[in-house]
A and B are shown apart, each in its own frame.
Chain A
């Protein structure tokens, strides 16, 4: 955790499916390879969706946390 430097934070609070993955994709596109994106969401489907999204795109899901009232993800751009 300590060696991960978050380059950008994207807050998708209040947005429903499919917006968290759509906006994550857009944000990742603008980063450099190796950059880490922090994504916050409140959509209860976010964890399985972000896991699937990472498997499909090949970007690395470093963390996926359920923090009660929100979900927090760290995604590393791999390509």
Chain B
């Protein structure tokens, strides 16, 4: 806020495809409004900074997630397919299927990919801070991440967030 700008501080703690969206959508929207934005990627959110990352949907941990088919007539597309947890958790390949379907549905609806949103975040000078401790725990190297990522710990994020107008844990 020292430059008179509003400030958004986000902690991104989840790495599935669906949960990867909110931090990047909010970050790019805020940056578009001339806000200063920083995202702290920690725990399962840290892989979102990887050069080659493949976020997947985890339907088993989202029991209320509607399953939609990205093909067929409109009536067919609009059906919410009830997916018993038994299937979501136990059928091999179900995660890949759900991921493919979600990516296709999102694309058809004009939703940008995570890669695009991340690129735009970089373009608009969003600070992308990778959690040092998580790197150590999960065995990531600085080299695994996009070069715009900086590495820091809780204190680094908190200093940034100290005068933020909006702080979110996602």
Could you mark each residue 51-76 of chain A with 1 if its beta carbon is under 8 Å from any beta carbon of chain B, else 0? 01100110000000000000000000
Name the prevailing secondary structure of the A interface residues.
helix
Interface size class of A (residues with CB under 8 A): 10 to 19
What is the 8 Å Cβ interface bit string for chain B, positions 96-118, against chain A (1 contact, 0 not)? 00000000000001111000000
- Flag if B33 contacts A56 (CB, 8 Å): yes
B34 sits at the interface (CB 8 A): yes
Cβ A43 vs Cβ B120 within 8 A: no
Asked if residues A25 and B32 are in contact (CB atoms below 8 Å), the reply is yes
Q: How large is the interface on B (under 10, 10 to 19, 20 to 34, 35 or more residues)?
A: 10 to 19
A18 touches B110 (CB 8 A): no
The residue in chain A whose Cβ has the minimal distance to the Cβ of B109 is: A16
Best-buried of B28, B29, B124 by chain A (most CB within 10 Å)? B29
Besides A16-B112, A49-B29, A56-B35, 5 other A-B contacts (C-beta < 8 A): A22-B120, A43-B110, A56-B6, A56-B34, A57-B34
B residues whose Cβ falls under 8 Å from a Cβ of A: 6, 25-26, 28-29, 31-35, 109-112, 120, 124
